[in-house]
A and B are shown apart, each in its own frame.
Chain A
Amino acid sequence: MNNIIEFASKLIKGFTSDSTNEVYKFHGGVHPDGHKHESTTRPIAQLPIPEKLTLPLRQHVGYIPKIKVKVGDYVLKGEMIAEAEGTVSAAIHAPTSGTITAIEDAVIPHPSGLPDMCVTLAPDGKDEWKPLKPIDWKNTAINELITSLRSSGIVGLGGATFPTHIKLRKDGRSEIHTLIINAAECEPYITCDDMLMREHAHDIIQGIEIVQHLLGATKVMIGIEDNKPEATSAMTLASQTLTNATVTTVPTLYPSGDARRLIHLLLGIEVPHHKRSTEVGIQVFNVATVLAIYRYFTFGEPSVSRVVTVTGNVETPQNFEVLLGTPIPLLVAAAGGAKTDTTHFVMGGPMMGFDLPSTDVPVTKAANCIIAASPSLFAAPPPAMPCIRCTRCADACPVNLQPQELYWFAKSDNLEKARDYHLFDCIECGCCTYVCPSNIPLVQYYRYAKSEIIAADKAQEAADLARERNEFRLARIEREKLERAQKHAERAASAKNDEPKPEPVKADKERPASSAEADEAKKAAIAAAVARAKALKLAAAQTDATKTGSEEAPTIIENKSEPTATVSDEQAKKDKQALIAAAIERAKAQKLAAAQAGVAPKNTEDLSPKVKAEISEIETIRAKAKQMVEAKDPD
Chain B
Amino acid sequence: MNRSPYITDAPTVSIIMLKVLLALVPGIIAYYWVYGGGILVTLSLATVTALITEAAILKIRQRPVAPSLSDLSAIVTAWLLALALPPLAPWWLVVVGTFFAIAIAKQLYGGLGYNPFNPAMVGYAVLLISFPVIMTKWPTPLALAEAPLGMMDQLKLIFSNVLPVGVQLDAVTSATPLDYLKTQLMLKQEVADISSAPIFGHFGAKGGEFVTAGYLLGGLYLIQQRIISWHLPTAFIAAMALISLIFNIVDPTHFANPGFHLMSGAVMLCAFFIITDPVSGPTTPKGKLYFAAGAAVLTYLIRVYGGYPDGVAFAVLIMNMCVSLIDAYTQPRVFGHKQ
Contact = CB atoms under 8 A, between A and B. Distances in A.
A405 B114 contact: no
B113 A387 contact: yes
B278 interface: yes
Interface string A493-537: 000000000000000000000000000000000000000000000
B11 interface: yes
Nearest to A447: B2
B326 to A, nearest CB: 13
A190 to B, nearest CB: 13
Interface in A363-379: 373, 378
Contacts of A89: none
Interface in B117-139: none
A353 B4 contact: yes
Contact of B6 (A12, A26, A111, A353): A353
A113 B13 contact: no
A32 interface: yes
Contacts of A26: 335
Interface in B205-234: 223, 229-231, 234
Interface string B232-268: 0010000000000000000000000000000000000
Nearest to A274: B336
B contact residues, range: 35 or more
A121 to B, nearest CB: 29
22 contacts: A1-B286, A33-B7, A260-B335, A270-B335, A272-B338, A350-B6, A351-B7, A378-B7, A386-B111, A386-B112, A387-B113, A389-B281, A400-B332, A400-B335, A401-B334, A422-B337, A434-B9, A435-B10, A436-B8, A443-B4, A443-B5, A444-B2
A382 B12 CA distance: 10
Contacts of A441: 3
B285 A5 contact: yes
B1 interface: yes
A8 interface: yes
B10 A437 contact: yes
A437 B223 contact: no
Interface in A316-369: 346, 348-355, 357
A contact residues, range: 35 or more
A27 B10 contact: no
A382 to B, nearest CB: 8
A433 interface: yes
Contacts of B75: none
A36 B284 CA distance: 35
Interface of B: 1-13, 15-16, 67, 71, 73, 111-114, 223, 229-231, 234, 278-279, 281, 283-286, 289, 327, 331-338
Interface stretch (A390-398, A539-547, A570-578, A590-598): A390-398
- Majority SS at the chain B contact face: loop
Given A386-B112, A390-B278, A422-B337, A350 B5 contact: yes
A381 B8 contact: yes
A273 B6 contact: no
B237 to A, nearest CB: 13
Contacts of A401: 334
Contact of B113 (A382, A386, A425): A386
A490 to B, nearest CB: 62
A435 B335 contact: no
Contacts of A405: 283, 327
A421 B13 contact: no
Contacts of A9: 230
Contacts of A444: 2-3
Contacts of A391: 229, 278, 283
A540 to B, nearest CB: 38
Contacts of B230: 8-9, 12
